[in-house]
Amino acid sequence: MRRILATSLFAVIAGLWVAGCGGAKTAQNNGPAPIRGWHWMTDREDAFNELAKRYKEETGQEVSFELYAPTDIYEQKVRAAAQTDGLPEIYGILGEMRGLASFIQAGHVRSLEDVMSADNNAWRNEFFPKALAVNAFQPNNTYGVEPGVYGVPIDVMSIQLYYNKKLLAKLGLDPNQPPQTWEDFMHVGKLANDQGLIGFVSGWAELWLIDCYATTYAIHTMGMEKVQQTYEGQVAYTDPDWQRVFGLFSEMRDSGMLAEGIVTMVNKRAEQLFANEQAVFAFNGTWGINVYDTMNPNLDYGIMLPPRVGNNEVVTWGGAGSSFFVNAKSDRQDAAIAFLKWLTDVPQQKYLLEQTKNIPANRVAAAELPEKLQAFAKVIDAAVHPRLFALQEDSKVIETFDKGVQSILIGESTADQVSQKVAQAKEREASRQAKLAEANGQR
């Protein structure tokens, strides 16, 4: 009798365990196990949850989104999960191409080249090419990654200048004709300073925003090829063209246009200053439209490319705004891909546009945009992004560069001193890499 009871009890416990563990079914609804997604996008949390609800209604497949913010917390979460093979079915990877390559080589990211190419490139052709390019690797890339597309863009973005029309008029200028040249830009900055206004604001405590601005002007003044040659070590940061880029920050400082404490200001604070009509210009991304319209629905502003220096074509930072990757170690890859195809289809992309005011990555969904978003969308095909370079600069050199710019802005360093310091950081990193390569070759 004891043996029968024990056997029966074991069977019950085993049955409960099987019902409650992973696999293809869930204990609650006896349907497919949820597709888990991790993201950092606080402005899209409600929209994602609503779309997950709709997807379950349409397909029976549950999708569970988890938000981890801010971005540094999110990155820590993803790195820790990667070490224990605990990543969800879909997730985002922030940072440099080098970091994405390491995730791919560790087996955490599924190549999507096969599904993008299927049916005569049907899925691929739905997207802006630049949106796909920032998550793709070309043949013979320096990272040794198999060529192809690895990420699914959800939206696209670029970073430009917002300008307050009311404040331009207050300065005696045409509110519909913002400055197009660097010289005129500096002139407006001085006028603003003379009248006690903030000329320019951005969250330059966040180094990536400084890097956006500096890279934009580096490519604008010297071209992508020379910037790439710098990353490869063929051109030094003491080159006159780089000194000119550093000098632009000196000119901004000397004009008096910069917001007080700009190097300790996070972007949320910068957005508040612009929304409250305290600043003439703000360097910010596509998401700023939603932010400003929420903070101040009556704010009258326009959007412009950064003012040109010389006669070269003006560029702007942009590409995929946010992307999802598929966990290559998950047994739910096909289900995850099916959901991402649905998520990037026109109806869902239009819903995200309505709710978040971000430009859809789907070109059809982005065909009809509000006027202000059109100003961002029309430059996407000509946008630049660090991930589009064959080789990206080393993160330690980038940090030295961006902190050097901060030191220029507060008057601690000259443009020449920073160019020297960055060049030295580049030499140190090149020496370190050479020693590592030599040590690896001797093993």
Q: What is the pLDDT of residue 223?
A: 92
pLDDT at 6 over 50: no
Q: How far is CA 321 from CA 202, 326, 443, in A?
A: 18, 17, 42
Burial 58-93 (b: 16+ CB within 10 A, else e): eeebbbebeebeeeeebbebbeebbeeeebbbbbbb
Q: Residue 188's closest CA among 304, 314, 313, 270?
A: 304
Q: Are residues 172 and 269 in the same domain?
A: yes
Buried residues in 399-411 as b, exposed as e (16+ CB within 10 A): ebbbbbbbbbbee
| Side-chain-facing half-sphere of 409: CA atoms under 13 Å | 24
Burial track 135-153 (b if 16+ CB lie within 10 A, e otherwise): bbbeeeeeeebeebbbbbb
In a domain, 16, yes or no: no
pLDDT (mean) for 1-10: 40
Share of the chain above pLDDT 70, in %: 92
Q: Is the pLDDT of residue 102 over 90?
A: yes
- Quote the domain boundaries for residue 99: 26-155+319-388
On whether both 288 and 425 belong to a single domain, the answer is yes
* 349 compared with 14, residue with greater pLDDT: 349
Residue 18: the pLDDT is: 37
Cis peptide before 88 (omega within 30 of 0): no
Q: 407: left (phi > 0), else alpha (psi -120 to 50), else beta?
A: alpha
For the chain, the average pLDDT equals: 90
As for how many domains the chain has, the answer is: 2
Q: Read off the pTM.
A: 0.81
- The answer to whether residues 61 and 150 belong to one domain is yes
Higher pLDDT, 115 or 133: 115
pLDDT tens readout for residues 264-296: 999 999 999 999 999 999 999 998 998 999 999
Residue 146 predicted with pLDDT over 70? yes
Same domain, 288 and 424: yes
Same domain, 196 and 92: no
Residues 96 and 31 in one domain: yes
Tokens matching residue 366:
């982005």
- Mean pLDDT to the nearest integer, 239-244: 97
Residue 17 has pLDDT above 60, yes or no: no
Residue with tokens 């945009």: 369
- Cβ–Cβ under 8 Å, residues 273 and 198: yes
